[in-house]
Structure 1
């Protein structure tokens, strides 16, 4: 399976990752939970597009650590976070999180923590470009 981390837009397909996950489930698995984050139209002002950048080595290390720690904390089978970098139009997907667990309760708890942590810990930055062509850099995606 593709390791969790940061990937250039167009280099991976979230549906392919999902298919791989569901075709290799442990027999004890009772839930597969996913989250897809998309570029939203409103940040500080109305957004035209978004540019995501990262310090890939640090971001990949942080994302791998988040996945490992969340797996252990909630005793789930799998946590994977895949974050895309590049230029995104409003509505385009840019992050995919998947959790495989025995039951939905620990899976939902693990998914929530994985989402909150990827938004604050890895070396990721977004540049919101607004309709008036002004922009704002925002640390942590």
Structure 2
């Protein structure tokens, strides 16, 4: 979904949060009241910064940046981390990373799912036993 006041800014994808990776900088639209503050979004931001030493920016994301990104993915409870391989618009079709899951997207997804399934050490203390 584009920003209602500036249609050059992208905010969300369906009911999922959007991330783009360009030159090892991970960007996601900043929370400004119109974007879902997702738990998975927050988890990805934390993992990227603290576990993968990737620069993270919560900022305005231009649609043109999405078209030229090295990797694009969406996050959400249902989709976890899902790559975007192609974007089709009235301006044409844009393939991202040859339509494949990018290296960083794959690493983030593996790390998050590994923690959720207790296959990776949870050094962030996210998991709590339920009685």
Higher strand share: 1
Q: TM-score, normalised by structure 2?
A: 0.32
Structure with larger RCO (C-alpha < 8 A, sep 6+): 1
